[in-house]
Amino acid sequence: MTEQYQEGTHLWREARMRKCGIIGCGNVGATTAFTLMQTGWFSEMVLLDLDVRKAEGEAADLAHGLPFHSPMDIYAGDYADLCDCGLIIITAGANQRPGETRMDLMRTNAAIFESIVGNIALYNRDAILLVVTNPVDVLSYVTYRVSGFPACRVIGSGTVLDTARLKQQMGNHLGVDSRNVHSFILGEHGDSELAVWSSANVSGVDLHRYCEDCGRGYDRSVLDGLFQEVRESAYKIIEAKGATYYAIAESIKRIVAAIVRDENSILPVSALVDGHYGLDGVYMSLPCILGRSGIKQVLEIPLSEEEECALDRSAKALKQAIRELKAESVSSPS
């Protein structure tokens, strides 16, 4: 997937990137707004929610903290106010309840997204759309299809958070700063995701060698146990406190930084897979180069045979979910 904009021909994009829209003022949306408010990257932020008073209250509460940060205009608005946003973050949708899988959310949130994305497209066809709501891969695909936007400008938050959770778990296990642990979780942001152990390293030292050098031994069963904890962590947090929002807000901040600052950073966001690893027709997380025009390139990092098989299974699971969604849409009464 290549960048679809020539450098220097869309100088207005840099100016538009000073305005951000956030749709959905629940736990994730409000925490994201609070996190981004503190960065100084934006001069204007508009909040939208089905509950208008909620959006107004969140905007007012955030605005009261502005004397401690950079000047900024934060307000509640409607879809027309998104017309000149360079970035629109979608966090709206039904919440994941205790015991409920991400796929259980699919039907309700897909219907919500068709309405949201349709309204966005009426007023703005040039923004980058960042999808956060779960199941994020399926909803990123829905957003891509409904919006008609080029795939490079429809991005899902993907497994950026999952990867961070894995780095944190591995850092604790290895007794090293988690920022020095390098590995990816790819595929679905959900139950079929996979950890890429074959290229995992600690500051350039192969994970297998690092474990041996530290006297820990390379115990694959222990690593798989850490990965299992990562996959179950969201469910445990939801069971304990009802929702996850701090870490996902930090993940969104990292993605937004790569876009707004045109970093060309490589992050495992959910992107349209178009021939990568022999797969297509689905949104899922792969390492992507991110910049001001969105996804500049989807990378194919080396995978072991086992990992390629796991990625294929993840893609099949997501394609099945999309097929079920399409089938329900066709069979629903008009």
pLDDT tens sequence across 242-259: 889 999 999 999 999 999
Residues 156, 140 contacting (CB under 8 angstroms) = yes
Q: For residue 180, what pLDDT is reported?
A: 95
In this prediction, the residues of the chain whose per-residue pLDDT falls under 70 are 1-15, 96-104, 216-217, 327-334
Q: For residue 9, what pLDDT is reported?
A: 43
Q: What is the mean pLDDT of the chain?
A: 90
What is the reported pTM?
Answer: 0.92
Q: For residue 219, what pLDDT is reported?
A: 81
Q: Extract the tokens encoding 202.
A: 């600690």
CATH 3.90.110.10 domain span(s) along the chain: 160-324
Q: For residue 257, what pLDDT is reported?
A: 98
Q: Please report, to the nearest 10 degrees, the dihedral formed by the alpha carbons of residues 265, 131, 324, 282 taken in order.
A: -20
* Strand ranges across the sheet with 73-76: 73-76, 44-48, 19-23, 87-90, 128-131, 154-156, 265-274, 280-291, 294-298
**CATH architecture designation of domain 160-324:** Alpha-Beta Complex (3.90)
Q: For residue 52, what pLDDT is reported?
A: 97
Q: For residue 100, what pLDDT is reported?
A: 64
Q: For residue 314, what pLDDT is reported?
A: 96
Q: For residue 64, what pLDDT is reported?
A: 97
286 residue type, one letter:
L
CATH 3.40.50.720 domain span(s) along the chain: 11-156
Q: For residue 101, what pLDDT is reported?
A: 64
Residues catalogued as catalytic: 189
The owner of tokens 């940060």 is 69
152 residue type, one letter:
C
**CATH architecture designation of domain 11-156:** 3-Layer(aba) Sandwich (3.40)
Q: 10 Å Cβ neighbour count for 15?
A: 12
Distance of CA 269 to the CA centre of its chain: 6
Angle formed by the axes of helices 106-123 and 305-331, nearest 10°: 80
Q: For residue 38, what pLDDT is reported?
A: 96
Q: Extract the tokens encoding 226.
A: 């850490």
In sequence order, the 6+-apart residues with CB closer than 8 A to the CB of 301 are 184, 196, 199, 287
